[in-house]
Amino acid sequence: MRRRLLISYLSITCFVLVALALPLGLVYGQSQERALTNRLQSDGFALALRADEPLAQRDTATLTGLVHELAAQTGAGVVVVDETGRVLASAGAHQPPPGASTAGVADLDAARRGHRVSGRRASPGGDVLAVTVPVVWRDGTVGALRMSSSLSVVEHAVERNWLLLGGLAGLIALIVLLVSTLLARSFTRPLAELDAGASRLGDGDLGVRVEVPDDPPELRRLARSFNTTAERLDSLLGSQRAFVADASHQLRTPLAALRLRLENVEADGPHHRPEDLDGALAEVQRLTALVESLLVLTRAEDAPAPSADVALGPLVEARLDAWWAVAAERGVQLDADVASLAVRSEPGRLEQVLDNLLSNALDVAPRGSSVRVVARPVGERVRLEVHDAGPGMTLEQRTRAFDRFWRSPSARRDRSGFGLGLPIVRRLVLADGGAVTLADAAAGGLAVIVSLPAAPLPAPVRVPV
């Protein structure tokens, strides 16, 4: 990933640099050559103006002076020829000596005919830039002169320019490389950290968290959701472990009692006391009930979301009917005040909730009192309440009542219940998107308040006649 980022940054940079530097270098070379031509041309014209009269009069001494002066000033080679092409004066390396004939040298021949010529020419000392102009005296061409300069100066300048451009491009590429390495590292560091975190999580280290980067937003979101996932896994596994520990602890007591009873039966042989065997059976029943409650709680922990609209009236009616016999035996009256309401719930779930709450209420309701089930709408929700006239709960007890395996001190003394009823109720109500709280009932006992999302009343089933 990092290498790919670097390669893409660098290739773009190199492309831009080449696209910019190449034309720049070429234009520079051309402009250098043009500047030299211009210089030679203006020097040539100046000499032609001063050399006209001496040339017309064949004053070689003056001409030689002028030519040498100019050659010394400019470093260029200078040749002056008369109208026949004979050299009258020359200066500089590789120039024809005075007296030599240049007839046949194309540029000088053309200039003697009145033309101006310039361009690159091959010469014994390497390529030169040559400018040849006619020398005119009183409306007639009296000869020609040629200025030539070695191209090596231009070539050196162009070479230096190329080197400079290359160096600059290299420097820019180096800076880009540095900056993009830092950038690529800042991109890939959170990724590498996430990678390491994920593999540690995979190895079972649930405490692992990664640093959340400020930028880019995608990585920030990814790091955040990684952390929340790890946190959730951690707490889920933690509560799972606590649950297993609690459950094992709760199973230990009845198992120990069962072993004691069975050891007594074994020791007494065929003449064992029948209470021991009955006690053993009772422990087995208690164990079975505990395991069943645990199963119900486990199922409630991952109960599905509600799928139906349930009418409360008939449901409460049916549950009160089911508990009527128990209530009658304990001398407790069952009342209902349920308006025609419906809630969003999973079928069968509210029955379990009511059964647990009614069982609790009947356990504590004093003889002659009544247990009331009330339901009424509150905004978008429905409040379903179960009131009793029992001892109620202290504030401290209410905060603990929904903890798994929590029982009131009196229930612990009597070894009645397992403290799983209210936790089961809470899980089921939560699964329906509701909430459950405990409050004081008007009659002095406890009021369990279940709040559920309201639903439109389901249409009555039409029975064909």
Q: Interface residues with Mg ion (CB under 5 A)?
A: 360, 421
Residue 337 beta carbon to ligand ADP: minimum distance, rounded to whole angstroms: 18
Shortest CB 398 distance to Mg ion, Å: 15
Query: Of Mg ion, ligand ADP, none, which one sits near residue 419, judging by CB under 5 to 8 A according to partner kind?
Result: ligand ADP
Residue 242 CB, nearest distance to ligand ADP (Å)?
17
Q: Which does residue 60 bind out of Mg ion, ligand ADP, none, counting CB within 5 to 8 angstroms by kind? A: none
Work out how close the CB of 426 gets to Mg ion at its nearest, in angstroms, rounded to a whole number.
12
Question: Smallest distance, Å, CB 421 to ligand ADP?
Answer: 2
411 binds ligand ADP (CB under 6 A): yes
Q: Which is nearer to ligand ADP, 220 or 398 (CB)?
A: 398
Find the shortest distance in angstroms from Cβ 315 to Mg ion: 19
3-state SS, the chain, equals CHHHHHHHHHHHHHHHHHHHHHHHHHHHHHHHHHHHHHHHHHHHHHHHHHHHHHHHCCCHHHHHHHHHHHHHHHCCEEEEEECCCEEEEEECCCCCCCCCECCCCHHHHHHHCCCCEEEEECCCCCCEEEEEEEEEECCEEEEEEEEEEECHHHHHHHHHHHHHHHHHHHHHHHHHHHHHHHHHHHHHHHHHHHHHHHHHHHCCCCCCCCCCCCCCHHHHHHHHHHHHHHHHHHHHHHHHHHHHHHHHHHHHHHHHHHHHHHHHHHHHHHHCCHHHHHHHHHHHHHHHHHHHHHHHHHHHHCCCCCCEEEEHHHHHHHHHHHHHHHHHHHCCEEEEEECCCEEEECCCHHHHHHHHHHHHHHHHCCCCCEEEEEEEEECCEEEEEEECCCCCCCHHHHHHCCCCCCCCHHHHHHCCCCCCHHHHHHHHHHHCCCEEEEEECCCCCEEEEEEEEEECCCCCCCCCC
Interface characters, 345-384, with ligand ADP (x: CB under 6 A): -----------x---xx--x--------------------
Smallest distance from Mg ion to CB 210, Å: 44
Binding footprint of ligand ADP, residue count (CB under 6 A): 22
- Is the CB of 234 or the CB of 440 nearer to ligand ADP? 440
Contact string 391-410 vs ligand ADP (x = CB under 6 A)? xxx-------x----xxx--
**Interface with ligand ADP, residue 43, by CB under 6 A:** no
Q: Name the residue nearer to ligand ADP (CB basis): 143 or 421.
A: 421
Q: From the CB of 441, what's the least distance to ligand ADP, in Å? A: 8
Residue among 199 and 410 whose Cβ is closer to Mg ion: 410
Please report, in angstroms and rounded to a whole number, the separation of the first and last CA atoms in the chain.
Answer: 74
Looking at the Cβ atoms of 37 and 360, the one nearer to Mg ion is 360
**Contact track, ligand ADP, 310-349, x by CB under 6 A:** ----------------------------------------
Residues 88-117: x where in contact with ligand ADP by CB under 6 A, - otherwise, as a string: ------------------------------
Q: Cα–Cα distance between 108 and 125 in angstroms, integer? A: 19
In the region spanning residues 414 to 443, those forming contacts with ligand ADP, defined by CB under 6 A, are 417-422
Contacting residues toward ligand ADP, per CB under 6 A? 356, 360-361, 364, 388, 390-393, 401, 406-408, 411, 417-422, 445-446
